[in-house]
Amino acid sequence: MNICVTGGAGYIGSFIVRQLVDAGHRVVVVDNLCKGHASAVDARAQFVLADCGDRTAMADLFRRQGVQAVVHMAAFSLVGESVTEPGNYYRNNFVASLSLIEAMLSAGVKRLVFSSTAATYGEPADQPITEEFATEPINPYGRAKLMVEQALADFVQAFEIGAVSLRYFNVAGALPDGSLGEDHDPETHLIPLVLAAAAGRRDRISIFGDDYPTPDGTCVRDYIHVLDLADAHVRAIDAAQPGALKVYNLGNGDGFSVRQVIEAAQGVVGRTIPTAVAPRRAGDPPVLVASSAKIARELGWEPRRGLEQILADAWAWHRSHPDGYAD
């Protein structure tokens, strides 16, 4: 298939592009490089520097390239920033998505896979979280993603298109050979921050709150290897059926506390990682663990890599790219 990946120069996008090409698809990446890295884009894919919210340019590109499916990953994804700059998040994550969907319609592109998030659930009391749980996001980031899902539900009814929305939990990891990995600025994700502290590039890792109602008092999250996540996208493209929006969680189904992640990282890197307890951050639920039973049942997807593999691969990337990508 001819597939367009928006945000394909970003962390997760770069892995998805690689896996789609490996699966035999022809891929065109659209990224405006507001965050991503051109050198992270697989050389076998075509790269187009553009804003995915430019409806005319995107429709032209879809027609010219004969695009048959879109994987829409381009977005801003800093939860805290979404609270202080909500306009940017609604514009880039919701309005631009709407323009992209309309560009697809005008060019006759019928399949979409959308990068959604566990943040659409908000702070559920029960675990593991299934797709039937109420969606009650607590920040503009989660709300803008949910708004895209809601719009998609209407578009698949009104037009003969099919969409799959994948709600990611905490994505981490790298290629085992360390050649492709996570390079965000600023970095807010726990695993790269822990490894930066392990490498001496940060003084210590802050533990935001150790008085949560969890076994060791620190927040529990579900970590999924970026390669497992990418595999789900290859399957999701085939699963997009006209007239339907399918929603799936993507997680490992295992919860690890912040302290457990740090301990496991110490085992992988073979040294003690300095820590400091800091106050809780607003809007951090105590526990977020996915049930991915639905995608296992319907698409035959299962995660194959656990926390130790995630940490080992991320460490390989950190050691070979201490300053991230050259660009």
Ligand X SMILES: NC(=O)c1ccc[n+]([C@@H]2O[C@H](COP(=O)([O-])OP(=O)(O)OC[C@H]3O[C@@H](n4cnc5c(N)ncnc54)[C@H](O)[C@@H]3O)[C@@H](O)[C@H]2O)c1
- Known active-site residue 141: yes
Q: Which SS3 state, helix, strand or coil, does residue 30 take?
A: strand
Q: Which of 11, 89, 141, 212 is catalytic?
A: 141
- Using CB under 6 A, which residues numbered 186 to 215 contact ligand X? none
Q: Which is nearer to ligand X, 251 or 286 (CB)?
A: 251
Tokens linked to 191 = 């695993």
Taking contact as CB under 6 A, which single stretch among the options 71-79, 204-212, 275-283, 303-311 is the one that binds ligand X?
Answer: 71-79
Taking contact as CB under 6 A, which single stretch among the options 27-35, 152-160, 260-268, 303-311 is the one that binds ligand X?
Answer: 27-35
CA distances from 306 to 33, 112, 231, 269, 313 (A): 31, 28, 15, 16, 11
Tokens linked to 185 = 């600025």
Task: Map tokens 């490894």 to a residue.
Answer: 195
Cβ proximity of 325 and 40 under 8 Å? yes
DSSP state of 290: B
52 binds ligand X (CB under 6 A): yes
92 binds ligand X (CB under 6 A): yes
Binding mask of the shown chain, residues 235 to 264, with x at each position contacting ligand X by CB under 6 A: ------------------------------
Exactly one of 4, 5, 25, 36 binds ligand X (CB under 6 A); that residue is 36
Q: Which is nearer to ligand X, 19 or 170 (CB)?
A: 170
> Cα 106 to chain center, whole Å?
27
75 binds ligand X (CB under 6 A): yes
Q: Which is nearer to ligand X, 33 or 199 (CB)?
A: 33
Taking contact as CB under 6 A, which single stretch among the options 8-16, 121-129, 193-201, 208-216 is the one that binds ligand X?
Answer: 8-16
SS (H, E, C) 179-221: CCCCCCCCCCCHHHHHHHHHCCCCCCEEEECCCCCCCCCCCEE
CA distance 75 to 122: 19
- Using CB under 6 A, which residues numbered 167 to 186 contact ligand X? 168, 170-171, 184
Exactly one of 17, 47, 67, 77 binds ligand X (CB under 6 A); that residue is 77
Minimum separation from the CB atom of position 95 to ligand X (A)? 10
Q: Which is nearer to ligand X, 192 or 286 (CB)?
A: 192
- Determine the size of the site formed for ligand X (CB under 6 A): 29
Q: What values do phi and psi take at 84, rounded to 5?
A: -85, -25
Number of H helices, E strands in the chain: 11, 14
Q: Which of 10, 6, 325 is nearest to 171 (CA)?
A: 10
228 binds ligand X (CB under 6 A): no
Taking contact as CB under 6 A, which single stretch among the options 50-58, 80-88, 210-218, 269-277 is the one that binds ligand X?
Answer: 50-58
Q: Is 211 exposed, middle or buried (0-12, 13-18, 19+ CB in 10 A)?
A: exposed
Q: What values do phi and psi take at 42, rounded to 5?
A: -55, 135
- Using CB under 6 A, which residues numbered 102 to 141 contact ligand X? 115, 117
Minimum separation from the CB atom of position 250 to ligand X (A)? 9
74 binds ligand X (CB under 6 A): yes
CA distance 241 to 156: 9
Instruction: Give the residues lining the site for ligand X (CB under 6 A).
Output: 6-7, 9-13, 30-36, 51-53, 73-75, 77, 92, 96, 115, 117, 168, 170-171, 184
Q: Which residues are catalytic?
A: 141
